Amino acid sequence: MLKGYVTSDWHMFSRRSTATANQQQIKDAMAQADIFVLNGDIFDFRWSQLPSIAATITAGIQLLETYTRDFPDCHFHFILGNHDCIKVFVEALDEFAKRTSNFTWHRFYLKLGERLFLHGDVIHAPEGEWPEQYRAAFEEGKSRGWLGNLGYKVMIFFGLHKFLARLVTKRYLTAKLIANLPQLLTSKVDEIYCGHTHQAFFNYSYQKWKFHNTGAMIQGIPWKLLAFTVRHQQWQNHNDLETATPLTNVD
């Protein structure tokens, strides 16, 4: 059996992120892992505090280079989220994957045996489709600027972001995922790992599936680094979809 970990929603490079402070715990897990899934919104281009989009891309790729170099026995899977799906970063990510043997990126999801990993923003898409329209607003990577960042700082100061995270309940999230993933939630899948809503939970049963959400590394928000196991043959046969094909055509 191979050991894996999954995490999401670091929102790294934004003012609200606590990912830098949690790096030692993350690296300790990477040192033990055969597989490490970065499940979306690892980087945050919309709210980045770095001088430019180019600087944020450089910093993101450098961090991934550090991980893959320092932990060569671990295979890293990077799944795009809405905050790190910008076109220029995806191009850089693709180039990085071509030269890095222990790194693979996925546009929407990853299946490892009975486990399905996806960011979770598919809940904003019409039933049976990928969240292309939802992500379109993020793909150009336009920064919110200093005024927007100031507004977000005020929201965090008053704890309003914690209230917003609670609006999407785990019952609502899991019901929406089931409705939007009719062909992915086959008999071969029994556990779903996601993020996006910034609400951490583990082993939440709904219908015949178990759902897990890794929360977010944001000030005042709980987060989880979740472990899982997978048979070696299942990892070798992992698959994903790199184009915006309707979910009803998958599998």
Q: Answer yes or no: are the C-beta atoms of 248 and 115 closer than 8 Å.
A: no
Crossing angle of helices 160-167 and 145-157, in 10° steps, is: 80
For the segment 22-37, the average pLDDT, to the nearest whole number, is: 97
pLDDT of the residue at 187: 67
pLDDT of the residue at 169: 83
For the segment 200-227, the average pLDDT, to the nearest whole number, is: 93
Helices assigned H by DSSP within 49-206: 53-70, 87-98, 132-139, 145-157, 160-167, 170-180
Tokens of 221: 């928000």
H/E segment holding residue 110: strand 109-112
pLDDT bracket for residue 22 (50, 70, 90): very high
pLDDT in tens, 126-179: 888 889 999 998 987 665 554 555 555 555 544 544 445 556 688 888 999 998
pLDDT bracket for residue 181 (50, 70, 90): confident
For the segment 60-69, the average pLDDT, to the nearest whole number, is: 98
Q: Answer yes or no: are the C-beta atoms of 122 and 196 closer than 8 Å.
A: no
Q: Which of 34-43, 86-95, 196-205, 225-234 has the lowest mean pLDDT?
A: 225-234
The whole model's pTM is what? 0.87
Cα gap 114→17, rounded to integer Å: 31
Cα gap 188→29, rounded to integer Å: 27
Please, what are the domains in the chain?
A: 2-237+245-249 (3.60.21)
Tokens of 23: 């790096």
pLDDT of the residue at 155: 55
Cα gap 236→218, rounded to integer Å: 33
pLDDT of the residue at 183: 76
| pLDDT score of 244 more than 50 | no
* Greatest alpha-carbon span in the chain: 50
| pLDDT score of 41 more than 90 | yes
94 burial via Cβ count (<10 Å: 0-12, 13-18, 19+): exposed
